[in-house]
């Protein structure tokens, strides 16, 4: 088990806000201790909503958060973690 902390970025694109946003927000609330910063923007021209997260946690925690978000229908989730450990 790797308990070394990493910083990462998670991008979430939501295409059906009415049904998807409540599920995404509940997941983010449940993992709030991992979230350093959050920016959410509507992309009205394309009926999309984009959320970007800056996260800090161990590899398993961040992968778990990403997996939960990916499982929500009508979302696209991409993430990356720094190769630099925070110790």
Question: Are the beta carbons of 16 and 76 closer than 8 angstroms?
Answer: no
> Is the pLDDT confidence value at 58 over 80?
yes
7 found inside a domain = no
User: What per-residue confidence (pLDDT) applies to 51?
Assistant: 97
pTM beyond 0.85, yes or no: yes
- Whether 53 is covered by a domain: the verdict is yes
> pLDDT digits over 12-57, tens only?
999 988 899 999 999 999 999 999 999 999 998 888 999 999 999 9
**Domain tally, the chain:** 1
State the CATH number of the domain containing residue 39: 3.30.70.1150
> Is residue 59 domain-resident?
yes
Does residue 1 surpass a pLDDT of 60?
A: no
Residue-number span of the structural domain to which 33 is assigned: 17-86
What pLDDT, on a 0 to 100 scale, did the predictor assign at position 66?
97
Question: Looking at the domain assignment, is residue 11 inside a domain?
Answer: no
| DSSP assignment letter at 10 | E
Distance of CA 84 to the CA centre of its chain: 19
User: Is residue 9 in some structural domain?
Assistant: no
Does residue 6 sit within a domain?
no
């Amino acid at each position: 088990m790797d308990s070394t902390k990493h910083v990462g970025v998670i991008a979430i694109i939501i295409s059906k806000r009415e049904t998807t946003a409540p599920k995404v927000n509940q997941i983010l609330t449940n993992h709030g201790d991992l979230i350093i910063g959050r920016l959410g923007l509507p992309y009205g021209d394309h009926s999309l909503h984009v959320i970007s997260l800056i996260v800090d946690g161990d590899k398993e925690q961040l992968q778990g958060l990403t997996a939960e978000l990916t499982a929500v229908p009508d979302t696209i989730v991409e993430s990356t973690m720094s190769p630099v450990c925070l110790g």
